[in-house]
Each structure stands twice: as C-alpha cells, then as structure tokens.
Structure 1
Amino acid sequence: MNPPARDLAQYIANRSHIVVKAAVRAENEQGELLLIQHAEQGHWRIPVGRMRPGEAIEDAAHRELWEETGWTASSMILETLHSGPDLRQLHSSGDEDYYVIALFRALIIQDRLVESRVNSEAGLKFFDPSSLPLLNGLSRLLLERSKMD
C-alpha cells in the first residue's frame, strides 16, 4: 500500500524556489490600462507568467501578452524589477516560491481586432488608471509599487 503524497511530505525537506516572472503593463493610446478578468473569481489582473528555461525575460513578456490577450506589442520597455519577502507564495506542501518579477510597459495600438475583443466575452477591458476595478493581489502590488518608483 502506498501512502498518500501529503503524508510523505512530512518526511521530505521543504524547498524554496526562486521563480522568475514577466508582467506586462499594457496601455492603449489614451493611457488606459489593459486588464484581464478571471473567469471564475471575477477579479481583474495584468498579464503575468513564468519565464521558461532558455527564454529571455523580454521574450517571456511578449509571449505572455500574446497568450493571454492574442495581441502583440512592437516594444516592451522594462519599467521595474520586483522581489522581496512580500512576493512569497507558500504551498500546502510547505514548499515556497519567491518571485522575481520584471514589469514591462507596452503600447497596444487600437485597431479593429483590438476593438472586437475589448468588452466582449474575452474578458479584456481598458480602464482609466484612476478608477481600476477589483484587482488580484499580485497585480495590485505590482501596480502600486510601480507608482512609487
């Protein structure tokens, strides 16, 4: 009989990992911020995801923007780099991830393709930075920190 994985976890040392992520502060020509709505939880967020092995961080930002919105940006400008104890995620196994997140700024040129997906069932919308909706914790933290820098 094999014991469940959760029971084995007590005999294995907990691990800490450094996880590198790319986040994109994508704006339109009017300076509005592009956000993605989480389908099940309802909160909004900026595009963010893990860098893959062998991938440049700027390429990860381009890929995340494309994967999460279907759009590309002609340039990604590194705005800020974030790390620290408040970017820690503790897993139920006891393992922990410490994030290092590069926040890039990108300009989305609004054309018919962009207009057709914004405010649709795709869960994409541009917001005035002074009146943002409920954001997930990570997006809120990154946007607040970038204001201070």
Structure 2
Amino acid sequence: MDYVLELRKLVGHRPLLIVGVCIAVLNEQDEILFIERTDNDLFGFPAGSLELGETVEEGAKREIYEETGLTAGKLEFVEVYSGKEQTYTYPNGDECFFVTLLYVCRDYKGELVQTTNETRAAKFYPANSIPQKIAPHAKIIVDDFMNRYYKKLIQK
C-alpha cells in the first residue's frame, strides 16, 4: 500500500504534511550513496515517506531496499528536519511539507541495484565529488549532513 498515493486520490495536488526518512548510506571507503530519482530527475540520499503502522526505522530500511536493493542492518539516528525549508512541489504539482528523519547506515548487505521503479541510478561517491543536482529541500539535509556530521562519522 502507498499511503501518500491513496491520499493524493482524495486531495489532488493540495499540500500534504509527510513524515519521511532519509538515509546516508556509507561504504567501507566512507563514500556516500546517492540515487538519481525517477520522479524529479534529481539526486539525493535514499528517502521516502512512511506507510501506516510503520516505524521510522522500518520505513528507512524499506526505502533503502526499494531504491537500491541493499538490505540495511543497524541504523544510526542523526537529525530531524522540518519547517518552511522542507517544502517541495513535484513536477506533477503535488505539494509536500516534509518532516524528515535522517539516519546513517553503514551496516548493509547485498548488491547495489542501479535501476528500480524509483531509481534511475545508484552510486557511491567520494565526499569531494557528490552530485549537486539535488532538490532544494533535500540539499539542505545533504549539506547539513556533510558539514556537521560526515567528518565526525568517518573518524569513529
């Protein structure tokens, strides 16, 4: 079931408050996983909205799997993002106000899948060459992660 798609049938493009998850996946070389999304042709961390009855951790693990084919183990909570800066209007006109929980995942298994129904490409990038074509609301999260958390995480 896709809760947001069901709501969209009822409310059309009207603004929705969406609880979502965003996951910075790091490999053994401390490279960061970015996906190219099919819904807006932009890059970002694996991310998505929660389904009814799902915990945020379950949602994060589901989104990683759906968008990359990787099975996540342990997740580390990082931050919550909300407010006016977390609004986005999709190319189809759907307007969203996001409350997004950011997690880090270093514990995963499987082969990285390049293409899914949500992902055009998936690749690990060195910190000095991450994609810049990112939706404004997601760029705030990516920039904050890179500036405030990434260096601390790789020193562990």
Pairwise same-fold verdict (TM > 0.5):
yes
Aligned to 1:129: 127
- Judge conservation of contact 1:29–1:110 (CA < 8 Å) in 2: no
The match for 1:6 is none
How many residues are treated as equivalent by the alignment? 131
Q: Which residue of 1 aligns with 2:154?
A: none
Separation in structure 1 between the aligned mates of residue 22 and residue 66 of structure 2, nearest angstrom? 12
Amino acid at match of 1:100: V
User: Tell me, what secondary structure is at the counterpart of 1:130?
Assistant: helix
Q: Compute the displacement of 1:145 (Å).
A: 2.2
- Paired amino acid for 2:122: L
TM-score, structure 2 normalization: 0.69
Q: Which moved more, 1:68-77 or 1:14-23?
A: 14-23
Q: Percent identity?
A: 25
SS class of match (1:123): strand
Which segments of 5 or more consecutive residues in structure 1 lack a partner in the other structure?
A: 1-11
Deviations 1:58-90 (A, max 9, x none): 110000000000101211111111001111235
Aligned mates of 2:60, 2:131 — CA distance in 1: 23
TM-score by length of 1: 0.72
Displacement of 1:131 in angstroms is: 1.5
Q: Which whole-Å CA distance do the structure 2 matches of 1:41 and 1:55 have between them? A: 25
Tell which structure's C-alpha radius of gyration is larger: 1
Structure 2, unaligned stretches of length 5 or more?
1-10, 115-119, 150-156
Counterpart for residue 19 of structure 1: 18
CA drift at 1:135 = 3.1
Task: Give the Cα–Cα distance (whole angstroms) in 1 for the partners of residues 61 and 144 of structure 2.
Answer: 22
Q: 1:91 to 1:109 in 2, by over 3 A?
A: closer
- Residue 131 of structure 2 aligns with an amino acid whose one-letter code is P
Distance 1:91 1:27 in 2: 27
